[in-house]
Amino acid sequence: MEIQPLVILGIQMATALGISLVVIHLIQPALEPLLGEVCGSEAAARFWVNFTRLMVLIAPLLQVILLAAEHGGMGSVELIRGTLFHALGGVFLALSVIGLVIWKVALTDRARGAAGGE
């Protein structure tokens, strides 16, 4: 019995969304206070929290939609492995970019604080 390509795509997308939602749930408690501190205003922090959530949702979906192989002759294990690879790769990419930006801002703020305290 062969699974229809549309069903496979749906499963791949559901997998990517599920992984994204777990990651969002895990980083949420630390993200809000951190961005509140880095941004300096509640409105800016709210924007960046929502932006981060969207990026963690969208990046894995894009990876799966654009890069995941079609079922054509693939075994179930290869299909699952490819889907997980692309979904987790999307999460990794999104978190890496977001982390890099937050890290740069934090370093800049720390440098300003050190320069002002001298």
- The predicted structure's pLDDT at residue 93: 92
N-term to C-term CA, the chain: 73
Report the mean per-residue pLDDT for the chain.
Answer: 85
pLDDT digits (tens, 9 = 90+) for 25-74: 999 999 888 888 888 888 888 998 999 999 999 999 998 888 776 656 66
Contacts (Cβ under 8 Å, ≥6 apart) of 24 = 53, 56, 57
Q: Which two tokens stand for residue 61?
A: 């979906």
Question: What distance in Å separates the CA atoms of residue 59 and residue 109, rounded to the nearest whole number?
Answer: 28
